[in-house]
Amino acid sequence: MKRIHVAVGVIIDPTDRILIAKRPEHLHQGGKWEFPGGKVEIGETTEQALIRELKEEVNLTVFSSEPFIKLSFDYPDKQVLLDVHSVIAFTGQAKGMEDQQIKWVSKAEVIEYNFPEANQPILEKIISKQQ
């Protein structure tokens, strides 16, 4: 099976809240919460994919991002490489462009949501960075 390279954004607003979105039921890991993002296409860098996906999915314009964590995870039906970046420099009003529910949550609240199993190390790193 080919590992799918995914650009994922931990988007943090000036009040230190993080943007999460609910994956539509019919998709892989559907019904769970996620950090917005999607597959890196051929010829794209991770940053380019992140900019494109965050515009498409939540209507935010990203100016820069920082590598946050990179992790491989094998689901029974899919292998993913989550290339996670933190995003602080962005403009726009977040909106679920694919009719998905979105929420801004504090770093303490984020662990109360049900994420795909692969996301565990991301959540741990977010919590450990809490002041």
Ligand X SMILES: Nc1nc2c([nH]c(=O)n2[C@@H]2O[C@H](COP(=O)(O)OP(=O)(O)OP(=O)(O)O)[C@@H](O)[C@H]2O)c(=O)[nH]1
Residue ranges in contact with ligand X by CB under 6 A: 4, 6, 8, 27-29, 34-35, 37-39, 53, 78, 80, 82, 116, 118-119
- Name the residue whose CB lies closest to ligand X: 38
Shortest gap between Cβ of 88 and Mg ion (angstroms)?
A: 20
Shortest gap between Cβ of 124 and ligand X (angstroms)?
A: 14
Binding site partner of 19, from ligand X, Mg ion, none, Cβ cut-off 5-8 A by kind: none
57 labelled as ligand-binding? yes
Token duo for residue 80: 């993913």
- In the complex with Mg ion, which residue's Cβ is closer, 101 or 106? 101
119 labelled as ligand-binding? yes
In the region spanning residues 4 to 63, those forming contacts with Mg ion, defined by CB under 5 A, are: 38
56 labelled as ligand-binding? no
23 labelled as ligand-binding? yes
Q: Look up tokens 């960075």; give the residue.
A: 129
What's the rounded Cα separation, in Å, for the pair 87 and 46? 13
Query: What is the chain written as a DSSP string?
Result: -PPEEEEEEEEB-TTS-EEEEEPPTTSTTTTSEE-SEEEPPTT--HHHHHHHHHHHHH--EEEEEEEEEEEEEE-SS-EEEEEEEEEEEEES----TTS--EEEE-TTTGGGS---GGGHHHHHHHHHT--
Task: Tell me the binding residues for 8-oxo-dGTP.
Answer: 23, 28, 34-37, 119
Task: Tell me the binding residues for Mg(2+).
Answer: 37, 57
Task: Tell me the binding residues.
Answer: 23, 28, 34-37, 57, 119
